[in-house]
Structure 1
Amino acid sequence: MKKFGLFLLGGIAAVILLANLGPMIGLAIGLVILYFSVKGFMKAETTSKKVIWAVIGIIAACSAISNVPALLGLAAAYVLYVVYKNWSGKKQDSNDDSDPFVNFEKQWAEMNRN
Structure 2
Amino acid sequence: MKKFMLFIAGLIALFVLLANLGPMILLGVSVWLLYIVFKQFIKSDSTAGKIGWVIAGLLILSIAFANIYAVIGVGAAYVLYVIYKQWQDEKHDDDIIVPSKTEDPFTNFEKQWAEMKNY
Count of paired positions:
98
Moved more, 77-86 or 11-20: 77-86
When Rg is computed on C-alpha atoms for both structures, the one with the higher figure is 2
Output one character per residue of 1:9-32: Cα deviation in whole Å (capped at 9) or x when no partner.
001101110111111011111111
Indicate the residue corresponding to 2:43 in structure 1.
43
Indicate the residue corresponding to 1:58 in structure 2.
58
Contact 1:17 1:73 in 2 (8 A): yes
Structure 2: segments with no counterpart, 5+ residues: 94-113
Indicate the residue corresponding to 2:91 in structure 1.
90
**Aligned-pair identity (%):** 44
Structure 1: segments with no counterpart, 5+ residues: 103-114
2:117 partner SS: coil
Structure 1 ranges of 4+ moved more than 6 A: none
**In structure 2, how many angstroms separate the alpha carbons of the residues matched to 1:4 and 1:76?**
18
1:69 partner SS: helix
For the aligned residue pairs, the C-alpha RMSD in angstroms reads 2.1
Moved more, 65-74 or 85-94: 85-94
TM-fit CA distance, 1:94: 4.5
Indicate the residue corresponding to 1:21 in structure 2.
21
Indicate the residue corresponding to 2:8 in structure 1.
8
Indicate the residue corresponding to 2:105 in structure 1.
none
1:90 partner SS: helix
Indicate the residue corresponding to 1:33 in structure 2.
33
What TM-score, normalized by structure 1, do the two folds share?
Answer: 0.75
Contact 1:27 1:68 in 2 (8 A): no
Relative distance call for 1:91 and 1:50 in structure 2 (3 A) is same
Decide which structure has greater helix share.
2
